[in-house]
Amino acid sequence: MSAEGTEGRILLFGAGGQLGQALRRLLSARRDVVGLAHADCDVGDPAAVRAAIAAAAPSIIINAAAYTAVDRAEDEPDRAYAANAVAPGVMAEEARRRGAVFVHYSTDYVFDGQGRTPYREDDPAAPLGVYGASKRAGEERVAGAGGIFYILRTAWLYDRQGRNFLTTMERLGRERAQTGRPLTVVADQWGSPTSVAALAAATEGILGHAGIRELSGIYHATCGGETTWWGFAQAILEGLHIPAAVTPITTADYPTRARRPAYSVLSSARLDRVFGIHMPQWEAALRSCLQAGA
Ligand X SMILES: NC(=O)c1ccc[n+]([C@@H]2O[C@H](COP(=O)([O-])OP(=O)(O)OC[C@H]3O[C@@H](n4cnc5c(N)ncnc54)[C@H](OP(=O)(O)O)[C@@H]3O)[C@@H](O)[C@H]2O)c1
Q: How near is the Cβ of 243 to ligand X at its closest, in Å?
A: 27
Residues 88, 49 contacting (CB under 8 angstroms): no
- Reduced 3-state DSSP string for 58-102: CCEEEECCCCCCCCHHHCCHHHHHHHHHHHHHHHHHHHHHHCCEE
Q: How near is the Cβ of 214 to ligand X at its closest, in Å?
A: 24
Q: Which of residues 127-156 bind ligand X (CB under 6 A)?
A: 135, 154-156
Q: Which is nearer to ligand X, 17 or 129 (CB)?
A: 17
Distance CA 63, CA 102 (A): 8
Phi-psi region of 14 (alpha: psi -120 to 50; beta: other; left: phi over 0): left
Selected from 105, 219, 229, 275, the binder of ligand X by CB under 6 A is: 105
Q: Which is nearer to ligand X, 7 or 78 (CB)?
A: 78
- Count of C-beta atoms within a 10 Å radius of residue 118: 19
What x-and-dash track marks residues 38-57 binding ligand X by CB under 6 A? x---xxx-------------
DSSP state of 17: S
Which range touches ligand X (CB under 6 A), out of 37-45, 179-187, 207-215, 270-278?
Answer: 37-45
Q: How near is the Cβ of 45 to ligand X at its closest, in Å?
A: 8
Distance CA 12, CA 20 (A): 7
Selected from 65, 103, 212, 236, the binder of ligand X by CB under 6 A is: 65
Selected from 1, 9, 16, 239, the binder of ligand X by CB under 6 A is: 16
Applying CB under 6 A, the site for ligand X has a residue count of 24
Residues 153, 266 contacting (CB under 8 angstroms): yes
Instruction: Based on the residue annotation, tell me whether 119 is a catalytic residue of this protein.
Output: no
Q: Which of residues 151-180 bind ligand X (CB under 6 A)?
A: 154-157
Sign of CA dihedral 212, 122, 109, 49: positive
61 touches ligand X (CB under 6 A) = no
Q: Which residues bind ligand X (CB under 6 A)?
A: 14, 16-20, 38, 42-44, 64-68, 83, 105, 107-108, 135, 154-157
Q: Looking at the annotation, which residues are catalytic?
A: 131
